[in-house]
Amino acid sequence: MKDIASIARDRITVAPSLLAADFTQLESQCREVALAGADALHLDVMDGHFVPNISFGVPVVKSLRKKCDLFFDTHLMISHPKQYAKAFVDAGSDLLTFHVECDDMIDAVLDECDRLGVPAGLSLKPGTPAEAVFPYLERVKLILVMTVEPGFGGQSFMADQMPKLARIKREIKRRALPVIVEVDGGVAPATAPQVASHGGSMLVAGTAVFRAPEGMAKAIESLKANTAILDSAL
């Protein structure tokens, strides 16, 4: 398992979302995005229940782990993350992020992650207030703020989530916690400055990287160029 400490909190990092890759060429796409400068690979797991879509599961993660050395940032958009945590850890996930809105007890899922020795992240949907994750900040390594409704790629960025993002970042800074703030949904070179200025340091970008006309490397370089304005509005 790769150490989450390898993901910097004081500069912009990029975790391209596998959902936007060419699924007929996953091995080569993962190799290319790694060479292009990705810091992690974001794996969106959907169960068709928590969100209205089904993506991929344990077998794909396990297969990719054999071919890809990137940090596996696994986002469990599923109703019962506790039930499947061990399977995804065994498959090679380096971080498990689950939703505060899931059907399991949050502390029970965090206990399971502790038992498995895997760092946990907590995500919240656009309609969920920032304060919903505050009770758990000492127990997680990452907070994922969704700037689209989870379930489908290619949606438009929801700028109205920026105040919530900033509230979460301020609370993390107030408590001096080593928690990464990640943002997922409509992130692209045009929207990344807003994310960075409101405290988001780990950018999940799917279409903007895997389908960038200028190529993956230039797309990632453009996203990372926002490090200079990280936290500037806080």
- CA angle 194–30–218, rounded 5-degree value: 45
Compute the distance between CA of residue 199 and CA of residue 218 in angstroms, rounded to an integer: 23
Does residue 217 register a pLDDT over 90?
yes
User: Of the candidates 2, 81, 84, 86, which has an alpha carbon nearest to the alpha carbon of residue 40?
Assistant: 2
pLDDT tens-digit profile of 11-21? Answer: 999 999 999 99
What is the predicted pLDDT for the residue at 77?
A: 97
**pLDDT at residue 155 in the model:** 73
User: Beta strands 40-46 and 120-124: pairing type?
Assistant: unpaired
Q: How confident is the model at residue 109 (pLDDT cuts 50, 70, 90)?
A: very high
The catalytic residues are 44, 184
* Two structure tokens written together for 202: 């780990």
> CA 49, CA 30: separation in Å to the nearest integer?
28
